[in-house]
Amino acid sequence: MNRREILSHFTLADGILIVFVIIAIIASSLFVYKKGVKSDYAVIEYNGKSENISLNKDKIITLENGIVVEVKDGKIRVKDSDCPQKICVKHGWLRYANDVIVCLPNKTIIYLLKKSDLDYITR
Amino acid sequence: MKSSQEKILILAAYSIMAVLLFIVEGMIPKPLPFMRIGLANVFILLILVQIDFRSALVVTLAKVIIGNLFSGLLFTPLILFSLVSSVLSLLVMYAVYKSRISLSLIGVSITGALSHMMTQLVLGYFLFIHTSRIFALLPLILLIGLISGLITGILVIILYKNIQLNLS
């Protein structure tokens, strides 16, 4: 059975279906991979505690477990940490809602939220 | 030989093929567990077209139960994924095949593959991962469904032409 014979089976409805699915793929990927929403709050969880930090003020915080967190221009990063691989430091700056930095050795998670999300959590 | 005996033999043969393809495909290492072509669906769709819906349901159930038995997943929550999505996609394929929409077997196979994957995604959302972030997988799942549906559909057309059943 050659290629032409197989192609001859395709109907108009097949074509419409395939085009429709391709459009759905493009539309959903545009929706999923669009740029994140700017965040204004960071949540830092460590040692079973959770701390909210506003990103509007520049500052440098040293947590009890030795992690140094830097806030600057609405972004946040781990500036320094005493963990061996320093994955959290290499992660760089976070600025969009739902971005996360995790430092497993220090059991610390930093993630960003939109203000509306934060209201929901603190309520 | 009576035709009911022939039918049983064909059911057995197709079930074996579907189960084997299911198991072998599960053994192939892949980056994500749902990235499979669903080659077992070739024989399910083939029997749906060649005999009837009930026979296709038998092959589907054989695939789910025996296939998952040998994959070591029979009594795990994962069987629910397999069972619900397989049966549902068979129902969708049957409906589309019987409907007036002039989809070829390739189109039927694509709708089957897509409904199979979408069912798993929705089940995954409701049963295991209760976060809407799981729907970030949607583009990938649609793409896999489209490609696997195309592949299985073409295989069904080739096999349909070459396997002649004489059931009276």
Mind listing the pLDDT tens digit of every residue in chain A (123 residues)?
677 887 888 888 889 999 999 999 999 888 877 766 777 788 888 887 888 888 888 888 888 888 888 888 888 888 888 888 788 888 888 887 777 888 888 888 888 877 665 555 554
Q: Which of B102, B114, B161 sits opposite A13 (nearest CB)?
A: B102
Residues in A closer than 8 angstroms to B106, CB to CB, are 9-10, 14
Instruction: Identify the closest residue of chain B to A22 by CA–CA distance.
Output: B143
The answer to whether B112 and A19 have CB atoms below 8 angstroms apart is: no
**Across B37-46, average pLDDT:** 90
Q: Which residues of A touch B158 (CB under 8 A)?
A: 1, 6
Tokens found for residue A9: 């089976």
Q: How many CB pairs under 8 A join A and B?
A: 56
Q: Where are the domains of chain A?
A: 3-32, 41-122
Strand order, beta sheet including A41-46: A49-54, A41-46, A108-113, A100-103
CB contact under 8 A, A18 and B154: no
Q: Does A100 touch chain B (CB under 8 A)?
A: no
In this structure, what CATH number is given to the domain that contains residue B19?
1.10.1760.20
Q: How far apart are CA B4 and CA A110, in angstroms?
A: 66
Q: Which residue in B147, B110, B155, B145 sits closest to B17, CA to CA? A: B155
Q: Encoding tokens for residue B142?
A: 């649609």
Whether complex ipTM tops 0.90: no
Q: Which of A103, A71, A64 is nearest to A84 (CA)?
A: A103
Contacts of A50 (CB under 8 A, 6+ apart): A43, A44
Q: Span A41-122: which CATH code?
A: 2.60.320.10
Give the integer Cα–Cα distance in Å for B159 and B154.
Answer: 9
* DSSP percent split of chain B into helix, strand, coil, nearest 5: 75, 0, 25
- The H helix count followed by the E strand count for chain A is 4, 7
Say if B23 falls within a structural domain.
Answer: yes
3-state secondary structure of A81: coil
In Å, how far is A57's CA from the nearest CA of chain B?
A: 30
Domain ranges, residue B84: 3-162
For residues A86 and B21, the model is more confident at B21
Token reading at A61 = 């915080």
Residues of B in contact with A8 (CB under 8 A): none
Contact B64, B79 (CB under 8 A): yes
The number of folded domains in chain B is 1
- Is B93 part of a structural domain of the chain? yes
Check CB contact under 8 Å for B103 and A13: yes
A102 class by beta-carbon count within 10 Å (0-12 exposed, 13-18 middle, 19+ buried) = middle
- B109: number of Cβ within 10 Å: 31
- Tell whether B45 is covered by a domain: yes
Cα atoms in the 13 Å half-sphere on the side-chain side of A30: 6
- Would you say residue B135 has pLDDT above 60? yes
